Structure 1
Amino acid sequence: MHLPADDILRDTGYVAGSAQPSVLVIACGALAREILALIAVNGWSHVRLTCLPAILHNHPNKITQAVEDAVQTHARDGLEIFVAYADCGTGGDLAKACARMGVKMIAGPHCYAFFDGLTAFAARDEVTSFYLTDFLARQFDAFVWQPLGLDRHPQLLDMYFGNYEKLVYLAQSEDAALTAQAQAAAARLGLAFERRFTGYGDLSRALEAAI
């Protein structure tokens, strides 16, 4: 799997922040770019960010243990910890683990919901939509096409996506190149395309409340 240089950091674990932080954000690597932008624009010099491998996005059964391990590793640092994950397919296990460890996390089922806004996302009830974020538009081959085996077995396309009607690109940024990549992904999947600019949505509000 080939990843651009800036995403190799996120996929292997990335740490950033001040020399004397008071808050540690443990995040999904797929959110690194957005969280770093929020740290910079808000001047949160007291915040340290550490990211778990973004590929856990494809293995939700491994997320809870990875977060628990990260919290335990950093507990000795004496920082207030916030977990920048929603449920993300853990079936409530991550929320239970965070409650047990006494740390807060992002509300909602997944990143699509908190980028779009939890209330708005639930009201849309788009059961036949497939979603991309900026990260997934950028990493469509590495996180969607290849893991599903569509590069090797294109005949599986209808089995995976036959019940979808459109691809919704939840855009965090105004980036024409990323929009073109998302639109190309929709064409490859044989789906209608919709771009919806969300900015950072509830991610921004969750971080502001936590730190």
Structure 2
Amino acid sequence: MPLRDTELTEDGLSPSGVGRVLLIACGALAREILDLKAANGWTHLDLTCLPAKYHLTPDKITEGVRESVAKHRAAYEQIFVVYADCGTGGQLQAACDDLGVEMIPGPHCYSFFEGNARFAQHSETEITAFYLTDFLVRQFDAFVIKPMGLDRHPELRDMYFGNYEKLVYQAQTDDPDLTRKAEACAAMLGLSFERRFTGYGDLATTLERL
């Protein structure tokens, strides 16, 4: 929930003041964005998030962004959408163009965390890779196991993951506990494991530009 017009930010300015930017983001990116804000002192950036579970029903993302832009536009000099395409089939980009707001480039967060250019270089050779980020490792049961019914029907594992060969963990932070959990996720799915420390990738450089 962003600050309201009547509230003051940590630097004493109203969010309707000159130079304030609202980030409308996927809830799955909230922790990373707040970490970047704190580390860089980006006090002019405010954050509001749509539910992370919209990734399971991407048809809800575009309308959610439209509604959020309409709700908050008057209070901010600039609004930036912290979503990639994320399964909307180009609809989100079209909506952002129509609304006159920018969004982060790329097909999905796995791409911009690694860096869109770098991800594109090897994506065609990794069509059998299943990707996890820090958020998805933490929420593996809620976003993978339970929605797919694998907690109730583990025999469905081969139907869902039989064509995958490895799990690639794109680590935003250097956390040994998360790495161990990611390895356990790979073992649970019967996949080989690879960890790549990506940091925040294009997310950091894009927010820095703002």
Q: TM-score, normalised by structure 2?
A: 0.91
Aligned-pair CA distance for 1:20: 2.4
Q: Per the alignment, in what secondary structure is the counterpart of residue 45 of structure 1?
A: coil
Is the CA contact (8 Å cut-off) linking 1:20 and 1:46 kept in structure 2?
A: no
* Aligned: 1:184 with 2:181: no
Partner of 1:200: 200
Q: Per the alignment, in what secondary structure is the counterpart of residue 163 of structure 1?
A: coil
The answer for unaligned runs of 5 or more in structure 2 is 4-8
Q: Per the alignment, in what secondary structure is the counterpart of residue 119 of structure 1?
A: helix
Partner of 2:6: none
Partner of 1:138: 138
Partner of 2:160: 160
The CA distance in 1 between the partners of 2:207 and 2:134, in whole Å, is 19
Partner of 1:100: 98
Q: Per the alignment, in what secondary structure is the counterpart of residue 167 of structure 1?
A: strand
Partner of 2:169: 169
4+ residue stretches of structure 1 with deviation over 4 A? Answer: 16-19
Amino acid at match of 1:149: G
State which structure, 1 or 2, has the greater radius of gyration over its C-alpha atoms: 2
Aligned runs of 1:61-140 on 2, under 5 Å? 61-125=59-123, 126-140=126-140
Q: CA RMSD in A?
A: 1.2
The CA distance in 1 between the partners of 2:175 and 2:14, in whole Å, is 34
Cα distance change, pair 75–15 in 1 and its aligned pair in 2 (3 A): closer
Aligned-pair CA distance for 1:15: 3.8
Is the CA contact (8 Å cut-off) linking 2:22 and 2:76 kept in structure 1?
A: no
Q: How many residues align?
A: 197
Amino acid at match of 2:129: S
Q: Deviations for 1:42-79, whole angstroms, at most 9, x for unmatched residues?
A: 11111101111111111111111111111111112133
The answer for unaligned runs of 5 or more in structure 1 is 1-13
Partner of 1:8: none
Aligned-pair CA distance for 1:41: 1.2
Of 67-76 and 188-197, more deviation after overlay is shown by 67-76
* Aligned: 1:40 with 2:38: yes
Aligned-pair CA distance for 1:188: 0.4
* Aligned: 1:23 with 2:17: no
